Amino acid sequence: MKGDELTLEKALTRGPVIPVLVIDRVDDAVPLARALLAGGVQVLEVTLRTPAALDVIRTLVREVPEALVAAGTVTTPEQWEAVAHAGAHLAVSPGLTPRLLSALHSGAPTPLLPGVATASELMTAMDAGLNRFKFFPAQQAGGVGMLKAFHGPFADAVFCPTGGITFDTASNFLALPNVACVGGSWLAPTSAVRAGDWGRITELARDTLSLGGTLTA
């Protein structure tokens, strides 16, 4: 298995849930990561939705080396290069554009988990040699029913559905044979992060382990 494929496989099989993190303050990054790790969550997706995101990624890679750090909301080749330079282990995109495909073919700076929402997008990505995907936005794009429909014609495709998934609905996705894990924001509520309530976040992380998952390393 190639390095990029191995990194993606590790990211998708280290636990049933990848927390989708929107971090405003760099000072919150390390205690938040350690709280999640204490609860058994090993893969952290830091979204590029705040000005602090790249500094957060650098800090986590340096200070919490036991975590696998993903950079989320990567939408351009320039962002892909930037997160790779910051040390992110992989990039996660909400979609897959011709420019991202071109960058993929010309030498990807780090592994990419691209987002798909339709059969045509999935076919385009699979034609490029990809078989691990983010299904986004999961609930709005058809949810469990859409993923069940994908499984027949695209049996080799494996998904991390993200978008609108909660603790109560995650198990419905994880029961599917083509779902390795789900992405969720409920593990790090804004109120808990702002209050520095790391114990609450560790408890939420521990709760996710009970969700299991159908695909394992």
Look at 72-76, 97-101, 195-199, 210-214 and tell me which has the smallest mean pLDDT.
210-214
Whether residue 147 is predicted with pLDDT greater than 70 in this model: the reply is yes
Whether residue 142 is predicted with pLDDT greater than 60 in this model: the reply is yes
What radius of gyration, in Å, describes the C-alpha atoms of the chain?
16
The CA distances from residue 30 to 36, 45, 58, 155, in Å, are 10, 13, 11, 38
Q: What integer pLDDT is reported at residue 63 of this predicted model?
A: 98
Question: Quick check: is 45 catalytic?
Answer: yes
Q: What is the pLDDT of residues 24-67, one digit of tens each?
A: 999 999 999 999 999 999 999 999 999 999 999 999 999 999 99
**Angle, to 10 degrees, between the axis of helix 26-38 and the axis of helix 198-209?**
40
In the set 45, 66, 81, 203, the catalytic residue is: 45
Q: What integer pLDDT is reported at residue 213 of this predicted model?
A: 62
Work out the percent of the chain whose per-residue pLDDT is above 90: 89
Give the other-Cβ count within 10 Å of 153's Cβ. 10
What is the distance between the alpha carbons of residues 202 and 214, in angstroms, rounded to a whole number? 23
Q: What integer pLDDT is reported at residue 1 of this predicted model?
A: 55
pLDDT band at 209 (very low <50, low <70, confident <90, very high): confident
Q: What is the mean pLDDT of residues 15-32?
A: 97
Q: Is the pTM for the entire model greater than 0.85?
A: yes
Q: What is the mean pLDDT of the chain?
A: 94
Q: What is the pLDDT of residues 76-105, one digit of tens each?
A: 999 999 999 999 999 999 999 999 999 998
Comparing 6 with 215, the larger pLDDT belongs to: 6
Terminal Cα-to-Cα distance of the chain (whole angstroms): 13
Q: What is the mean pLDDT of residues 193-208?
A: 96
**Angle, to 10 degrees, between the axis of helix 98-107 and the axis of helix 77-86?**
50
> Which phi-psi region, left, alpha or beta, contains residue 197 (left: φ > 0; alpha: ψ -120 to 50)?
beta
Q: What integer pLDDT is reported at residue 217 of this predicted model?
A: 34
Whether residue 114 is predicted with pLDDT greater than 90 in this model: the reply is yes
In the set 2, 5, 121, 134, the catalytic residue is: 134
